[in-house]
A = this chain, B = another copy of it.
Amino acid sequence: MDEQATIQGEEHGRLIYDVFARNCPSRETWGHLTGRWGTLALLALGEGSYRFNALRRKVDGVSEKMLAQTLQALERDGMIHREAQHTIPPRVEYSLTPLGREAARRLLGLIEWLEEEMPRVVEARGRYDQAKNDA
């Protein structure tokens, strides 16, 4: 082996990505958190609670259908709290649960790191494309 420490996560003696690969419930939730609209919805709600259409305006580009679907999935996972008033017209407020708040915090951490590193990524892309052209 090499001296460089390997990056491993253990969970009950098994490598976590093995657990993660097959174990469906966490895979599904992972998809909800990191999916195209899930992350955006969580980050938006990290700012405060919003009603459906306000949220839709914040998560720019999302369709009604996808926003509803995304919110339902995250509500079911316990990340989002949904408060409905049965009035006409209806009024529904979405907010983060403590669990969702923690998820949003961690996702934001990853995204901020990525944003910081983007110059490196862009540079790597340039080198990669250059090498392709030379071939």
Contact = CB atoms under 8 A, between A and B. Distances in A.
Interface residues of A, number: 63
A99 B117 contact: yes
Copies in the complex: 2
Interface string A11-26: 1000111011110011
A55 B97 CA distance: 38
Secondary structure class of chain A's binding surface, majority of residues: helix
Contact of A121 (B48, B78, B107, B118): B78
A43 interface: yes
Interface of A: 1-2, 6-9, 11, 15-17, 19-22, 25-26, 29-31, 33-34, 36, 39-40, 43-44, 46-48, 59-61, 75-78, 99, 101-115, 117-118, 120-125, 127-129
